């Protein structure tokens, strides 16, 4: 249990990210104000309070480790925090910016910036858990604000939160949403993606694009084969898997496999 | 005594009107999001008139029907299941009072009398299985019972089958035989209405009907025969429980690992699957808690997490468990197979896995030497839930982690 003689302290830290996960938390509105009545929010730049050196009972981490200073800053936060919770795809899997892990990132920097020597960037964008111990990972791009609040509530009550490891499909069916893949032929990554979003996209007639990361036993290779049999070109299969959570192993491995087939095929075509 | 009457097509709206007057909320089939689903029915105009479906493994499409009938379609993604076994509901809440004592409150659903129009024979067979599961013994499920006891069921005899239907193979259709209050047989000019219960007879008596002619009755029979003839999917001959028990190490299970996504769609659309998980939510001040039950699938490793390990941790083992339970051990448990032949698991599998084909393969002797058991997926240790991110200190999942 959190020590009862003082109010629990919460910090929300930003690493390499778009701030969208902080905003998803902030957008909770009234429930966040209710939380603030029970805890001290010491550091949450998007909401106002700034004290990055604060000691906290729960440190929520947004963003990936992308620069050399990030890692040192992160280790300091870990030392000052009782629970460390990653929020969102960047913090949990390296994020969209980890696409550079799959390419020549240095060439991109030199192509984009007038003074590339001023850019301090590590070769890879990596998840928080690659650098420090993480107590809980919450996926999503952005994270579900309700899920962050639920995690805070559970940790403050002294137990680890419930995280649903079912695929998006399970949540679709719980909400009686009609499967877009079966009824419309819309490619959907829901069968290999973990829920947490409330099946948001399929409920609005859109295929899931896997922003919540792989389901716990995601069979991405099998889904990719089926999409290929249904006529999806290999490069599109690779792009769908190597997207927001491209460094999550289940998506990375299957995506790289299909990317290799594209390279193989274009190589074959060049051969007279 | 069987009461059969003829209800002319232009009098059909009176069936809804009489049900509403009798105090029922009326639920019926209608088109939503490119499928026929069951929802509150405002009028007969909302019924899927002149619409049919084209179903195949992993595929469901609506199409214009060649007839003007209301029920010229086979089962959609839902059965009665969501109406009786709610996908998500609060079972009870608790509160800490000022003196520190705990008080628990049961949260029964506010179930209203509900009439469902358009139920098929397979749906009724599934409902009977659920009744056996949820209402058996000294402690029936009060949430299921509250909804179940409020149902008035208007069934429809099928006059066509989808390509995925195989109720003739399980013996559950296409004829409506039990569990309904009224059964409709649709003809081009009206319906043969058959009452099966006292309240069904009472309702039928309030309708402006005429005698059902021998021709009308014969046409309903012809429709049933047509529906049965259209089915071509079969189950293996002989005892499936014995065949599945013998196939526990069959190499075909591993073949499924190349196809099965373990997404759980088959279990969610199955009208007899009843697995569930329970989740507690606590208020910020820790004084109030609610205990929620929601649909779960045996394909989720969390479902078989028991005291530090996941039983049947590998993907092929999960499919094996589902299929072996549904067609095998279910028989010992409930006195019959858990399959009613509705074909939903075939149509709504996103990658079109067909249980009838898998059972056929598993009932054959393996073509190569059987393995001891399904081989584990490379790089995965059986009995563990893999952490989702790579190359990191393992983050404890919700059950492994201990607070201090």
pLDDT digits (tens, 9 = 90+) for B136-170: 989 999 999 999 999 999 999 999 999 999 999 99
Put simply, the answer to whether B33 touches A178 (Cβ < 8 Å) is yes
Distance (Å, rounded) from C-alpha A159 to C-alpha A136? Answer: 12
The answer to whether A216 contacts B265, with C-beta atoms less than 8 Å apart, is no
pLDDT at A271: 52
Q: Which of A133, A169, A249 sits opposite B263 (nearest CB)?
A: A169
| Chain A closest-CA separation from residue B177 CA (Å) | 28
Residues of B in contact with A161 (CB under 8 A): 398
- Structure confidence at residue A229 (pLDDT): 95
Conformational region of residue A29, where left means phi above 0, alpha means psi within -120 to 50, and beta covers everything else = left
Identify the bridge partners of residue B306 per DSSP, sorted by sequence position: B309
Instruction: Measure the CA–CA gap between A76 and B110, rounded to whole angstroms.
Output: 53
Of A180, A224, A201, the closest CA to residue B61 belongs to A180
Interface probe for A, chosen from B34, B389, B400, B403 (most Cβ of A below 10 Å), is B389
The reported pTM is 0.91
Structure tokens at A85: 């919770």
For the cut 70, the answer to whether the pLDDT of residue A66 exceeds it is: yes
Task: Tell me which residue in B258, B347, B401 faces A160 most closely, judged by beta carbons.
Answer: B401
Q: Is the torsion defined by CA of A15, A20, A23, A28 positive or negative?
A: negative
Contact assignment for B390 to A247 by CB distance below 8 Å: yes
| Interface test with chain A among B262, B281, B311, B388, by most A beta carbons within 10 Å | B388
Q: Which residues pair with B27 in a beta bridge?
A: B40, B116
Residue with the bigger pLDDT between A11 and B369: it is A11
Q: Which residue in A has a C-alpha nearest to residue B261's C-alpha? A: A219
- Cβ contact (<8 Å) for A169 and B264? yes
In this predicted structure, what is the pLDDT of residue A129? 98
Segments in chain B below pLDDT 50: 370-372, 375-404
Does A36 score more than 50 pLDDT? yes
Q: How many CA atoms lie within 13 Å of B264's alpha carbon, on the beta-carbon side?
A: 33
Residue among A161, A165, A221 whose CB faces B300 most closely: A165
Chain B residue with Cα closest to A212 = B388
Residues of A in contact with B278 (CB under 8 A): none
CA angle, residues B288, B292, B298, in degrees to nearest 5: 150
Which chain B residues are within 8 Å of A133, Cβ to Cβ?
393, 395
Instruction: Tell me if A223 and B261 make a contact (CB, 8 A cut-off).
Output: yes
How far apart are the CA of A104 and the nearest CA of chain B, in angstroms?
21
The radius of gyration of chain B's CA atoms, rounded to the nearest angstrom, is 24
Q: Label residue A55 exposed, middle or buried (CB < 10 Å: 0-12, 13-18, 19+).
A: middle
* Residue of higher predicted confidence among B369 and A98: A98
Q: How many CB atoms lie within 10 A of CB A82?
A: 16
Cα–Cα dist A150/B283, whole Å: 9
Which among B34, B300, B392 has the least Cβ separation from residue A130? B392
Q: Which domains does chain A have, with CATH numbers?
A: 9-157 (3.40.50.700), 168-267 (no CATH)
What pLDDT was estimated at residue B2?
A: 78
State chain B's maximal CA–CA distance in angstroms: 78
DSSP codes of every residue in B182-200: EEEEEETTEEEEEE-SHHH
Of B366 and A61, which is predicted with more confidence? A61
ipTM above 0.90, yes or no: yes
Contacts of A192 in chain B (CB under 8 A): 261, 263
The alpha carbon dihedral of A234, A235, A239, A242 has a sign of positive
CB contact under 8 A, B347 and A182: yes
Q: How far is A223 from chain B (nearest CA, A)?
A: 7
Distance from CA of B319 to the nearest CA of A (A): 12
Q: Please write the tens of the pLDDT for every residue from B319-378.
A: 999 999 999 999 999 999 999 999 999 999 999 999 999 999 999 988 755 444 554 444
**Chain B, nearest residue to A150 by Cα:** B281
Is the Cβ–Cβ distance between A262 and A252 less than 8 Å? no
- Answer whether A178 sits within 8 Å of B281, measured CB to CB: no
CB A191 within 8 A of CB A223: yes
CA dihedral B368, B369, B370, B374 (to 10 degrees): -70
Residue A63 distance to chain B (closest CA, Å): 15
Q: Does A272 have pLDDT greater than 70?
A: no
At residue A5 the predicted structure's pLDDT band, cuts being 50, 70 and 90, is low
Asked if residue B375 lies in contact with residue B254, where contact means CB atoms within 8 angstroms, the answer is: yes
* Nearest CA-CA distance, residue B239 and chain A, Å: 31
Contact list in B for residue A40 (CB cut-off 8 A) is none
Helix (H, G, I), strand (E, B) or coil at B52: strand
Q: Give the closest-approach CA distance of B192 to chain A in angstroms.
A: 32
Give percent above pLDDT 90 in chain A.
Answer: 85
Contact A174 B401 (CB under 8 A): no
Task: Provide the percentage of residues in chain A whose pLDDT is more than 70.
Answer: 96
Predicted local distance difference test score (pLDDT) of residue B389: 39
- Contact (CB<8Å) A170/B399: no
Q: Which of B87, B388, B392 sits opposite A176 (nearest CB)?
A: B87
The pLDDT score that the predictor gives to residue B11 is 97
Closest CA in chain B for residue A166: B300
Rounded distance, CA A255 to CA A235, Å? 9
- Contact assignment for A162 to B279 by CB distance below 8 Å: yes
Structure tokens of A46? 């998007």
Q: Is the CB of A160 less than 8 angstroms away from the CB of B403?
A: yes
Contact across the interface for B351 and A222, Cβ inside 8 Å: yes
- Give contacts of A213 with chain B, Cβ < 8 Å: 388
Could you give the residue ranges of the DSSP H alpha helices within B230-314? 240-246, 252-256, 265-269
Reading the block at residue B209, the tokens are: 């009907």
Q: What are phi and psi of A9, to 5 degrees?
A: -115, 140
Give the Cα-Cα-Cα angle B6, B8, B13 (nearest 5 degrees): 115
Q: Which residues of B113-124 are buried (b: 16+ CB within 10 A; e: fewer)?
A: ebbbbbbbbbbb
* pLDDT band of A269, cuts 50, 70, 90: low
What SS3 state is found at B294?
Answer: strand
């Amino acid at each position: 249990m959190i020590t009862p003689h003082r109010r629990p302290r919460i910090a929300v830290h930003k690493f390499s990210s778009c701030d969208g996960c902080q905003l998803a938390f902030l957008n909770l509105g009234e429930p966040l104000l209710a939380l603030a009545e029970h805890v001290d929010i010491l550091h949450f730049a998007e909401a106002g309070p700034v004290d990055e050196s604060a000691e906290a009972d729960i440190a929520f981490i947004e963003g990936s480790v992308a620069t050399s200073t990030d890692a040192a800053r992160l280790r300091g936060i870990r030392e000052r925090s009782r629970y460390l919770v990653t929020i969102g795809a960047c913090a949990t899997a390296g994020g969209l910016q980890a696409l550079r892990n799959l390419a020549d990132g240095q060439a991109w920097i030199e192509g984009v910036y007038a003074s590339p020597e001023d850019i301090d960037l590590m070769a890879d964008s990596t998840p928080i858990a690659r650098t420090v111990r993480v107590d809980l990972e919450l996926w999503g791009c952005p994270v579900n604000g309700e899920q962050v609040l639920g995690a805070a509530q559970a940790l403050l009550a002294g137990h680890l939160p419930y995280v649903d490891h079912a695929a998006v499909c399970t949540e679709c069916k719980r909400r009686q949403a009609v499967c877009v893949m079966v009824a419309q032929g819309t490619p959907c990554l829901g069968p290999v993606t973990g829920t947490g979003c409330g099946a948001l996209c399929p409920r609005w007639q859109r295929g899931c694009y896997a922003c919540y990361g792989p389901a716990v036993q995601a069979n991405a290779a099998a889904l990719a084969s089926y999409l290929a049999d249904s006529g999806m070109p290999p490069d599109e299969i690779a792009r769908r898997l190597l997207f927001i959570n491209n460094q999550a192993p289940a998506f990375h491995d299957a995506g790289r496999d299909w990317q290799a087939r594209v390279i193989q095929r274009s190589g074959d075509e060049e051969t007279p | 005594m069987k009461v059969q009457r003829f209800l002319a097509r232009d009098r059909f709206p009176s069936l809804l009107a009489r049900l509403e007057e009798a105090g029922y909320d009326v639920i019926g089939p209608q088109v939503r999001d490119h499928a026929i689903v069951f929802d509150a029915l405002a009028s007969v105009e909302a019924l899927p008139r002149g619409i049919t479906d084209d179903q195949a493994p992993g595929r469901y499409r609506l199409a214009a029907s060649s007839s003007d009938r209301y029920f010229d379609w086979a089962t959609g993604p839902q059965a009665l299941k969501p109406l009786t076994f709610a996908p998500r509901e609060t079972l009870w809440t608790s509160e800490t009072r000022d003196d520190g004592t705990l008080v628990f409150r049961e949260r029964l659903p506010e179930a209203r009398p509900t009439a469902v129009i358009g139920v098929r024979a397979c749906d009724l067979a599934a409902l009977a299985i659920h009744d056996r599961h949820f209402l058996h013994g000294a402690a029936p499920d009060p949430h299921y019972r509250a909804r179940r006891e409020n149902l008035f069921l208007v069934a429809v005899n099928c006059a066509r089958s989808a390509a995925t239907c195989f109720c003739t193979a399980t013996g559950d259709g296409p004829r409506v035989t039990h569990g309904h209050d009224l059964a409709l047989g649709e003809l081009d000019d009206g319906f043969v209405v058959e009452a099966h219960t006292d309240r069904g007879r009472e309702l039928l008596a309030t309708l402006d009907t005429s005698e059902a002619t021998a021709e009308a009755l014969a046409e309903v029979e012809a429709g049933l025969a047509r529906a049965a003839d259209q089915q071509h999917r079969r189950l293996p001959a002989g005892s499936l429980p014995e065949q599945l028990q013998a196939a526990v190490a069959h190499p075909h299970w591993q073949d499924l690992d190349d196809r099965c996504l373990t997404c759980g769609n088959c279990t969610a659309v199955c009208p007899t699957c009843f697995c569930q998980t329970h989740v507690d939510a606590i208020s910020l001040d820790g004084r109030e808690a609610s205990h929620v039950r929601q649909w779960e699938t045996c394909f989720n490793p969390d479902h078989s997490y028991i005291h530090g390990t996941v039983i049947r941790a590998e993907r092929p083992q999960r499919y094996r468990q589902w299929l072996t339970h549904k067609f095998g051990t279910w028989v010992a448990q409930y006195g019959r197979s858990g399959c009613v032949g509705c074909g939903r698991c075939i149509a709504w599998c996103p990658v079109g896995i067909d249980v009838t084909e898998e059972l056929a393969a598993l009932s054959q002797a393996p073509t190569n030497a059987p393995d001891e058991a399904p081989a584990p997926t490379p790089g995965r240790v059986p009995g563990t839930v893999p952490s989702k991110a790579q190359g990191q200190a393992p983050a404890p999942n919700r059950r492994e982690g201990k607070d201090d």
